[in-house]
Structure 1
Amino acid sequence: MTNYSRTLVTLACLLSAGCASNPAGNSETVPPQSQYDSIIADNEGSLLSINGLAKELATADVIVIGEYHGHHGAHLLQALMQSALYQQRPAQVLSMEQFTLDDQPELDRYLAGQSGEEELIEDTDAWPNYKASYRPLIEFSRNRNIPVVAANAPADIVRCIGRTGESYLEHLDQAQRRQLPDDPFIDTPGYRRKFFEALGSGHGGDHGSKHGETANNKRLESSYKAQLLRDNTMADQVIRALENHPDHQVIHLTGTFHSEDRLGMVAVLEKKRPDLEVAVVSPVFWRSGDDLDSLLETHGGKGDFVYFLQPLPQEYRDTDRHREAIMEQFRNSPDLSCD
């Protein structure tokens, strides 16, 4: 069978319920053959189709679908899942990290047919990959009167927390502060460790004895508080969505770091509402030489269900060019006053 044929078979499998059974020998399972392919499995190692996964998730109050931002396969899976879940429970709400609280009025205007897509993109400063990645979910919702929640914290507030620390909240006016969670920095020890390890810091924010280390730790701690503000705001918005739309199922889309291993916004959500049935679907890269059994053993716990994707292309091989690109992002960052 050619790679092209395998790709067609994989896509057909995703769309049908006939591929839900686990084939003999997971190690023989063909890995994703294109950037659009994904292979779904539960923590027992059973493979699932999109429709099979939707049936498994029919009773969940909240389904958190993690993504690798900009990965074609992740965004295709999200769109297919939204449609399949709608067939199980039409009472649905879509919650999105990709829009902030400030975007809600413009998002509502677009959903109500009062503005056009380019106006939505311009007025919300939508992510650059909006049309390729999120348009299908928004259009599915708009055509079926599904509420869409702009779930993320306002970008300027997040940036200022990252620069100056949590005390920046004291500078907000009452209206700004009221839209944020009452306790915006709830976290868990596991998430804290994960965050600092991801930044290449082994101290977990503990202050060192040297001035340089102390300053660096303060910056890292502020960055962590900015991350927590995002997580707590998203969790808060999901809870509000359930309160505003009783008996609805909320689908929340977010970067996988915010949800995998049931950390981040999922941990906050479960602390605040332990009565909810929350399901996590997390992506995992299937790299050359991997087999499904070893992947499940290593990464299965990242979610109640995982979906495997081809890795994204390496962005840079030249470290100097990579460093220069990062510096250029800082030079082009918005001119923002946090006074």
Structure 2
Amino acid sequence: MIKSSDDNSLIRPQTLYEARLIGSISGTELSVETLSQRLADTDVVIIGEYHGHQAAHLLQSQIQAALYRQQPLQILSMEQFTLDKQAAVDAYLSGETGETEMMEDSNAWDNYRGSYRPLMEFARQQSLPVIAANAPAAIVRCVGRTGPGYLDRLATHDRASLPDHPFMDTPAYREKFEATINSSHGAADDAMRERLDNTYKAQLLRDNTMASRILASHSAHPSHQIVHITGTFHSEEHLGTVAMLRQRAPDLSIAVISPVIWPEGAEMPPLDENRNKGDFLYVIQPLPEEFLDKDRERKAMSARFHRPTEDTCQGDSP
């Protein structure tokens, strides 16, 4: 049974904006302020999200501000911007461009204004650095399409921007990735297995790049706390980016905050099977089903991941 701080059972979030923070081991509900006090001396705080979930984005903004009150030396690190767009992010933070210009120049995600604007604006208002942490989208796409050897064809400058050992791995992460993919695709033939392996290498490139960018920021600003925003697959169970950080910097203190869905109709959220997802959890409502018609879903997914006819992955750079 999850208990709140006043020893009452946890109350189900009433709206899609609400989240209930709990300690993953204690099962006790926490306020954002209490969480920030506990994490005041942590080097890197990683807040996982389900992309586009209102409760996740609101909580991230609340935690960012609460941590700042404890430790005003703060850096915001974001999966949602790629390292080749760092100059566009910096130009906006320094007042050289407007928001729409920044969004165009940085290829900001479509949900930037509704989901990430509060994080960026807090950093801008407080004159805090923002790290565009992800690997360049074109390079990730080409690794996923043609394999890890694509990096050998990159221009020297492009390759130098990526981490050494860009496909560093852990067995548990590979197992999780394959289980997730297999649940969607079923048994695979040799050609499919090769494509899935390339997709996994692209995933590793993202994780290793984000870990490398976080560590570079920590080295440049060792007194600052880094708040990293990322999709939960990159951080939950301390896998992905978190595992890469720990392999590269074992002495770094890291805290992971992960979402847990409270299913409709359930009396309590599924805590027992989710305790290992993070050092702290936040319980949220499920998002609405995107599709009930499976044929429409397949067509939509096909359109979403349709490859352009031109092949842009054969040259020396993306």
Residue 88 (structure 1) aligned with residue 70 (structure 2) = yes
**Paired position in structure 1 for 2:119:** 137
Alignment of 1:10-25 (within 5 A): 22-25=5-8
Structure 1 residues 142, 333: closer, same or farther in 2, change over 3 A?
farther
Q: CA RMSD in A?
A: 1.9
Structure 1 residues 21, 319: closer, same or farther in 2, change over 3 A?
closer
Q: 1:32 aligns with which of 13, 29, 37?
A: 13
Q: Is 139-148 or 329-338 further displaced after alignment?
A: 329-338
Q: 2:296 aligns with which of 311, 317, 321?
A: 321
- How far apart, CA to CA, are the structure 2 residues paired with 1:332 and 1:227? 18
Q: CA deviation at 1:321?
A: 0.4
Residue 305 (structure 1) aligned with residue 305 (structure 2) = no
Q: 1:290 aligns with which of 247, 254, 266?
A: 266
- How far apart, CA to CA, are the structure 2 residues paired with 1:291 and 1:22? 19
**Paired position in structure 2 for 1:219:** 195
Secondary structure of the 1:119 match is helix
Structure 1 residues 34, 322: closer, same or farther in 2, change over 3 A?
same
Q: CA deviation at 1:331?
A: 3.5
Structure 1 residues 224, 176: closer, same or farther in 2, change over 3 A?
same
Q: Unmatched 5+ residue regions in structure 2?
A: none
Secondary structure of the 2:89 match is helix
Match of 2:38, as an amino acid?
A: E
Please say if residues 47 and 256 of structure 2, whose CA atoms lie closer than 8 Å, have aligned partners that are also in contact: yes
Please say if residues 196 and 202 of structure 1, whose CA atoms lie closer than 8 Å, have aligned partners that are also in contact: no
Match of 1:324, as an amino acid?
A: K
Structure 1 residues 164, 238: closer, same or farther in 2, change over 3 A?
same
- How far apart, CA to CA, are the structure 2 residues paired with 1:233 and 1:197? 23
- How far apart, CA to CA, are the structure 2 residues paired with 1:237 and 1:334? 33
1:121-168: per-residue Cα shift (whole Å, max 9, x none)? 111110011001100010100011100000000000000000011000
TM, length-normalised to structure 2: 0.94
**Paired position in structure 1 for 2:173:** 191
Secondary structure of the 2:258 match is strand
Q: Unmatched 5+ residue regions in structure 1?
A: 1-19
Structure 1 residues 88, 333: closer, same or farther in 2, change over 3 A?
farther
Q: CA deviation at 1:102?
A: 0.8
- How far apart, CA to CA, are the structure 2 residues paired with 1:134 and 1:333? 28
**Paired position in structure 2 for 1:3:** none
1:198-253: per-residue Cα shift (whole Å, max 9, x none)? 1116999xxx9xxx711110000000000000000000000001011121000000
- How far apart, CA to CA, are the structure 2 residues paired with 1:30 and 1:156? 44
Please say if residues 264 and 286 of structure 2, whose CA atoms lie closer than 8 Å, have aligned partners that are also in contact: no
Please say if residues 196 and 203 of structure 1, whose CA atoms lie closer than 8 Å, have aligned partners that are also in contact: no
Q: CA deviation at 1:336?
A: 4.9
Q: CA deviation at 1:327?
A: 1.5
Residue 250 (structure 1) aligned with residue 226 (structure 2) = yes
- How far apart, CA to CA, are the structure 2 residues paired with 1:203 and 1:78? 33
**Paired position in structure 2 for 1:12:** none
- How far apart, CA to CA, are the structure 2 residues paired with 1:314 and 1:21? 30
Percent identity (aligned) = 50
Alignment of 1:135-214 (within 5 A): 135-200=117-182, 213-214=189-190
**Paired position in structure 2 for 1:51:** 33
**Paired position in structure 2 for 1:17:** none
- How far apart, CA to CA, are the structure 2 residues paired with 1:201 and 1:51? 39
Match of 2:272, as an amino acid?
A: E
Match of 1:124, as an amino acid?
A: S
Please say if residues 22 and 46 of structure 1, whose CA atoms lie closer than 8 Å, have aligned partners that are also in contact: yes
- How far apart, CA to CA, are the structure 1 residues paired with 2:56 and 2:215? 25
Match of 1:295, as an amino acid?
A: P
